[in-house]
Structure 1
Amino acid sequence: MIGVHDGLNSPRKESGTEDTSPFPSKYLMRNTRVLRVVKAQIKEVPMEVLEAAQQELVNIVNLGNNQLREIPKDMILLNEHLTQLILSRNQISFVPTNISQYSKLEVLNLSSNLLCELPMELGGLHLLRELDISHNRFHHLPACIYELSQLESLVAHDNNIKSVDASDLGLGGMPELLILNLNNNDINVVPPILGNMPKLKSLELWGNPFRQPRHQILSMGTPAVLSYLRTRIPI
């Protein structure tokens, strides 16, 4: 995924004393502007940690590979500065409607959770460039995604997606899209109009039950796939 940063490894000792908390100190957050807690089995983030992160102008949060069941409610304290939010490999089953308040968010990673829908309010993230919803339970691409006009990378592999909307109200209305990964879904038909997407550089479709384009075309790479799809557009 383009440009995703997960922060820096944080030391566990300060001033000669050992700190058993998995959360970084305010001093580390001040120096890095990163709140990074991964593989720590945490189920929540204390409010005082997020208050400290707010004070230190943290703009990157990585809480990947934990046991979160929801996006921490007090995370909203960071909404004015947050540009990257990584919540992969948790147990999150819904995204709250206040996600739209993270107005500066550019990167959102929700992969490997329990999601089957996203709120329409997510479409209000007008600066979002990268969205990863892979390894979830989606049966379709949520409609809010089509509102993300600046999105450059959409990673949605390993879901249960059965079809995609490639019209001007769907993917066809996303002029900045460079990367589209739909591997390992349940797509039966690839819309030929995908071939007309102006900036698409990487289209991944392996592991779906459609018959066309055939594997030999897929193996030739994205330019060949897009060229083939254009030949299938009805005149």
Structure 2
Amino acid sequence: MVGDGLNSPRQQGGKAKSAKSDPQFPDKYSMRNTRVLKANSKNLTELPEDIVDMACQELVDIVSLQDNLLTKVPSELQDMSELLTELNLSKNQISFIPSFISQFSRLLRINLSGNLLRSLPMELSGLKMLRELNISHNRYEQLPTCIYELESLETLIANDNQIQEIDATDNGLGALPKLGTLNLTNNNIQIVPPVLGNLTSIDELHLSGNPFRQPRHQILAMGTASIMEYLRNRIPL
């Protein structure tokens, strides 16, 4: 769910809906059986409190609010902070992430793609169980430093931003011992540091669509193992 793509167009206009205005939403019995609150493409500008109350009663642990008109993370979600393991806020109009995100200590996956984000709060580093973070299709010029403290992170998807450099040092990506997938395609990266090749946990690396000259396209096309070997061979002795 967190990995949902960005292919469908964003809906425009409309008002926030509530359970009363839409008798088909939410489906209480579906939430009870699946533990999922799915409110995608509902033109929501806020998350009605009655829906959150119902989700708490049904012990919902996955929330998807993809493709709505949210301009901020609904504060009502704080009532679910001890339940949520997955949160999908992709394809909204959110420009900042509040510090209360640190309360969601059980989160394993969070999708913030397709928003207006330029930064993340340091409090996000408190999500020590987080395995997957998707910040693609935003406005980042660099990877937020809080990411480097997410010790359980396995997948980092940051394509289609304006990221200019890769920090592969021990204080950067090198601090993520479980990182297996790194997607930095379609950014503004000028140089790929050879030391990135030493991050042996990475088995899926995507770097195409950037203005760097090395590695060349032919190397990129050969796949992750070839890219990593190429980089290691360029580390100064």
Please report the TM-score for the alignment, with normalisation by the length of structure 1: 0.91
Matches within 5 A, 1:46-125: 46-125=48-127
Q: Is the 8 A contact 2:2 2:111 kept in 1?
A: no
Q: CA deviation at 1:22?
A: 6.1
Q: Write the deviation string for residues 26-74 of structure 1: whole angstroms up to 9, x where unpaired.
A: 3321121110011111111111111111111100000001101111001
Cα separation, 2, equivalents of 1:199 and 1:62: 30
Distance 1:234 1:5, change over 3 A: closer
Alignment equivalent of 2:22, drawn from 20, 25, 33: 20
Q: CA deviation at 1:77?
A: 0.5
1:208 counterpart letter in structure 2: N
| Structure 1 alignment gaps of length 5 or more | 7-17
In 1, the alpha carbon distance for the partners of 2:187 and 2:129 equals: 27
Task: Tell me how many residue pairs correspond in the alignment.
Answer: 222
Q: Per-residue displacement from partner, 1:76-116 (whole Å, max 9, x unpaired)?
A: 11110100000110000000001010000000000000000
Matched, 1:149 2:113: no
Unpaired runs of 5+ residues, structure 2, are: 5-19
CA distance in 1, matches of 2:42, 2:83: 24
1:22/1:37 contact within 8 Å kept: no
Quick check: 2:66–2:89 contact (8 Å CA) kept in 1?
A: yes
2:176 corresponds to:
174
Aligned CA RMSD, in angstroms, stands at 1.6
Report the CA distance shift for 1:5/1:193 in structure 2 as closer, same or farther (over 3 A): closer
> Residues 116, 5 of structure 1: CA spacing in aligned structure 2 closer, same or farther, 3 A cutoff?
closer
- Quick check: 1:107–1:128 contact (8 Å CA) kept in 2? yes
Distance (Å, rounded) in 2 between the aligned partners of 1:22 and 1:67: 20
State the shift of 1:25 in Å: 3.1
3-state SS, counterpart of residue 79 of structure 2 = helix
Cross-structure match for 1:232 = 234
| Aligned residues of 2:64 and 2:87 also touching (Cα < 8 A) | yes
Describe the SS at the equivalent of 1:50: helix
Deviation at 1:19, TM superposition (A): 7.3
- 2:136 pairs, out of 107, 130, 134, with 134
**Runs of 4 or more above 2 Å deviation:** 3-6, 18-23, 25-28
Q: Given the superposition, is the C-alpha separation of residues 71 and 23 from structure 1 closer, same or farther in structure 2, using an over 3 Å criterion?
A: farther
Give me the whole-angstrom Cα distance separating, in 1, the residues matched to 2:136 and 2:30.
31
- Counting aligned pairs with the same residue, the percent is 55
Partners of 1:28 and 1:130 in 2: CA distance: 25
Taking structure 2 as the reference length, what is the TM-score of the superposition?
0.90
